[in-house]
């Protein structure tokens, strides 16, 4: 059984391990540098009054995925940015779907009117995930430089909450 709950500081280590494995595999996230517990805690503390973090965990308390919403300086105040990560080998189990239901509710309660997802154009799984949730393309960003210097195209998708 998959349980969705608000993430807290004690989840930061497991979330960092999950994301770091995705970063090391490469090809799906814009993150290119190792992710530590301290980095996750820093992100969680950026704007706690306008952000929402959720984890999906199994019956043993292992985190299967996490998702967060937060404001972004390139977006208007009525929009938030979303990021989603599912443990390698655990996709297709409904983790992302359940996380998004919690995130939609949180976004509405925080007063947001729409959610932005910006995804690497070569991340077929990520593009399909957001498309299947009802996100629609609204911008294309060619040749975006990643932290390791690589250039990738990105796609911004929008989900209206109203």
Question: What are the boundaries of each domain within the chain?
Answer: 3-160
Average pLDDT over residues 22-46: 89
Average pLDDT over residues 116-125: 92
Average pLDDT over residues 54-65: 96
Contact 12, 41 (CB under 8 A): yes
What pLDDT was estimated at residue 147? Answer: 83
Contact 145, 151 (CB under 8 A): yes
Tokens describing residue 134? 């009802």
Average pLDDT over residues 18-27: 88
Residues 120, 124, 127, 130, CA torsion sign: negative
Which CATH number is 3-160 given? 3.40.630.30
Burial class of residue 96, CB neighbours in 10 A (0-12, 13-18, 19+)? buried
Total length of the chain: 162
pLDDT at 26 over 80: no
DSSP 10: G
What pLDDT was estimated at residue 36? Answer: 96
For 47-59, the pLDDT digits (tens) are 999 999 999 999 9
What pLDDT was estimated at residue 155? Answer: 97
Mean pLDDT of the chain: 94
């Amino acid at each position: 059984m998959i349980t969705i709950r608000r993430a807290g500081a004690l989840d930061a280590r497991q979330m960092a391990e999950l994301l770091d494995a995705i970063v090391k595999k490469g090809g799906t996230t814009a993150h290119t540098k190792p992710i530590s517990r301290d980095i996750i805690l820093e992100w969680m503390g950026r704007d706690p009054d306008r952000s929402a973090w959720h984890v999906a965990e199994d019956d043993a308390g292992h985190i299967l995925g996490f998702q967060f919403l937060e404001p972004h300086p390139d977006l208007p105040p009525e929009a938030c940015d979303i990021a989603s990560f599912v443990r390698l080998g655990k996709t297709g189990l409904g983790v992302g779907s359940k996380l998004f239901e919690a995130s939609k509710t949180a976004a509405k309660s925080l007063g947001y009117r729409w959610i932005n997802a910006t995804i690497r154009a070569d991340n077929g799984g990520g593009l399909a995930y957001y498309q299947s949730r009802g996100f629609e393309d609204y911008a294309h960003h060619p040749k975006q430089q990643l932290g390791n210097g690589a250039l990738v195209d990105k796609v911004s998708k929008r989900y209206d909450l109203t």
